[in-house]
Amino acid sequence: MSRAAQVSGSIRRRLIGQLVLGSAVLAAVLVLLVINLARNVAQDTQDSILMASVTSILDTMTVRDGEISVDLPYAALSMLGNVSEDRVFYRILADGQLLTGYDDLPDPGAPGREGGYVTAPYAETEIRMATAERRLSVGGTPIMVTVSVAQTRQGLMQTLAQVSRVGGAVGVGFFVLAALLAVLTTQSGLRPLRDLAGAVSRRGPKDLRPVKGPVPQEMAPLVTSLNSFIDRLRYSLSRSEDFIAEAAHRVRTPLFTVRTQAEIALRRVERPENRAAIKEMIRALDESSRAAGQLLDHAMVTFRTDHLEKEKVRLDELAEELVDRLRPVADLRDIGLSTQSAGNPVVQGDAVLIENALRNVLDNAIKYSATDSDVAMRIGQQGGQSFIEVRDHAGGFPEGALHRMTERFARGDNAGGTVGSGLGLTIAREVLEAHGGRLTLENKGDGACVTLWFPAS
């Protein structure tokens, strides 16, 4: 019955995908920001130490006896050297002429009053250099002194690498956490949808009440249209039940009229050939009304099994009632009906359907039995299963064709002139199968033994 819809994409996968991608981008941006910030902070620190050294050198420069004297404050420089393995260089120029230090340090450009910084390759590595100027008056002439202090950047690079590692780890951690959250959020966000699907598919098939339970606002339109669909379904179901009933009425009433008139005619007619003809007519009428009845019953049974509605059914009570109904018919042919029940055979099922299945089986037992015989019914439990067994003394099913007898329209050679359509056992089997049970046919002794098996409930 249930057919899967055509699937295109998954909300869950799409949501998770988008959320994970988003967190990946966020994590990358975060890592870049952290690294950049760290680089700036480290650079600023180095710069300010370098500039502090430059300023302290400039401060110690004095003019003595018309000469510029430099008193290198080793404390400042060694402070630089102590920080790391980095090497320190310096240079002091007076009006562009080297006073002391490394002459081949890169050109500082125009450092201005505030001082300036450059990063440049030097001595097979990279250095950071701070430079500042000051004007000194030597014998009345102003002389511009320029002091540069430089340091290699290994320490800085190491710090940066470390920061990057930590930053990367934090980024990955962030990403994993965010992805996990994305999955969880998606899961819980989709729960109302799953709950709704579950609630609808868990329902009994005849349960056509509207869906009620609280749903999130976004799902309200879905539930509304689902409910209106259920409404339409309920309407069309009741229509088809009525249709089948109406069809039965239309077919059976005229047949009944003709049959009754034929019975009357038979009473009045004397000549054997006329009587035979009328009997043949009645037989044909019975055949067609039986066929119509069984076809409609079969349609009804198929319809009901498709929408199986289960309730507690007591097999012994159901069987007793049915036997009471059939007894007048059995009496007509002096066939005794006996029932015997044991245990507490309660099953979950549709009582109308089960009754119809049993009726078809009992109907056969009565129909195929000779006058003056007995039909015995036994109701009980075996191995957790409940059963109704019907035994007769009617000679049994045709040997060899036994397994075929539950097929549609299958009739045995033993049916002879007995009216029937070959649907009785088909109906019974379909009812049992719809209930998760089975119908077994056997020949026992001088008759048939048909058993309706119901699963343990």
Partner 1 sequence: MRFLLVEDSMTLASAVLDRLRLDGHVVDHAPDVEQARAYASAADYDLILLDIMLPDGDGRDFLKSHRLARNETPVIVLTARSAVSDRVSVLDLGADDYITKPFDFSELEARCRAVLRRRGGGASTVQRFGDITFDPLAGTLCVDDRRVSLRNKELRLLEIFLSAPDRIFSKPKLVDRLFSYDEDVSDNAIEVYVGRLRKHLAGSDVEIVTVRGMGYRISRA
User: What is the binding site for ligand ATP (CB under 6 A)?
Assistant: 290, 294, 360, 364-365, 368, 392, 394, 396-397, 405, 410-412, 414-415, 420-426, 448
356 binds partner 1 (CB under 8 A): yes
Q: In the range 328-347, which residues lie near partner 1 by CB under 8 A? A: 328-329, 331-334
Work out how close the CB of 238 gets to Mg ion at its nearest, in angstroms, rounded to a whole number.
29
Whether residue 425 contacts residue 361, with contact meaning beta carbons closer than 8 Å, is answered with: yes
Q: What separation in angstroms does the CA of 314 have from each of 358, 363, 437, 452? A: 13, 20, 16, 14
Distance CA 28, CA 30 (A): 5
Contacting range for partner 1; rule: CB under 8 A; set: 101-109, 122-130, 214-222, 245-253: 245-253
Contacting range for partner 1; rule: CB under 8 A; set: 153-161, 181-189, 218-226, 296-304: 296-304
Q: Tell me the residue nearest to Mg ion as measured from the CB.
A: 424
- Among ligand ATP, Mg ion, partner 1, none, the one that 134 touches (CB under a kind-dependent 5 to 8 A) is none
> Which residue among 33, 169, 245, 456 contacts partner 1 (CB under 8 A)?
245
Work out how close the CB of 402 gets to partner 1 at its nearest, in angstroms, rounded to a whole number.
23
Distance CA 299, CA 301 (A): 5
Whether residue 16 contacts residue 189, with contact meaning beta carbons closer than 8 Å, is answered with: no
Among 406, 301, 304, 303, residue whose Cα is nearest residue 364: 406
Contacting range for partner 1; rule: CB under 8 A; set: 102-110, 165-173, 321-329, 375-383: 321-329
371 binds partner 1 (CB under 8 A): yes
406 binds Mg ion (CB under 5 A): no
Q: In the range 402-421, which residues lie near partner 1 by CB under 8 A? A: 416-419
Work out how close the CB of 213 gets to ligand ATP at its nearest, in angstroms, rounded to a whole number.
45
Q: Which is nearer to Mg ion, 68 or 292 (CB)?
A: 292
Q: DSSP E strands: which ranges in 139-256? A: 141-152
> Which residue among 289, 364, 406, 426 contacts Mg ion (CB under 5 A)?
364
Among 385, 394, 399, residue whose Cα is nearest residue 438: 385
CA distance between the termini of the chain: 23
424 binds Mg ion (CB under 5 A): yes
Distance CA 345, CA 257 (A): 42
**How is residue 190 annotated by DSSP?**
H
135 three-class SS? strand
Contacting range for Mg ion; rule: CB under 5 A; set: 148-156, 292-300, 363-371, 403-411: 363-371
Work out how close the CB of 376 gets to partner 1 at its nearest, in angstroms, rounded to a whole number.
18
Task: Indicate the helix (H) or strand (E) that contains 354.
Answer: helix 351-368
308 binds partner 1 (CB under 8 A): no
46 binds partner 1 (CB under 8 A): no
Distance CA 214, CA 216 (A): 7
- Among Mg ion, ligand ATP, partner 1, none, the one that 448 touches (CB under a kind-dependent 5 to 8 A) is ligand ATP
Burial class for 330, CB neighbours closer than 10 Å (0-12, 13-18, 19+):
buried
Alpha carbon dihedral 219, 223, 226, 231, in 10-degree steps, equals -160
Work out how close the CB of 392 gets to ligand ATP at its nearest, in angstroms, rounded to a whole number.
5
Judged by the rule CB under 5 A, the positions of this chain that interact with Mg ion are: 364, 424
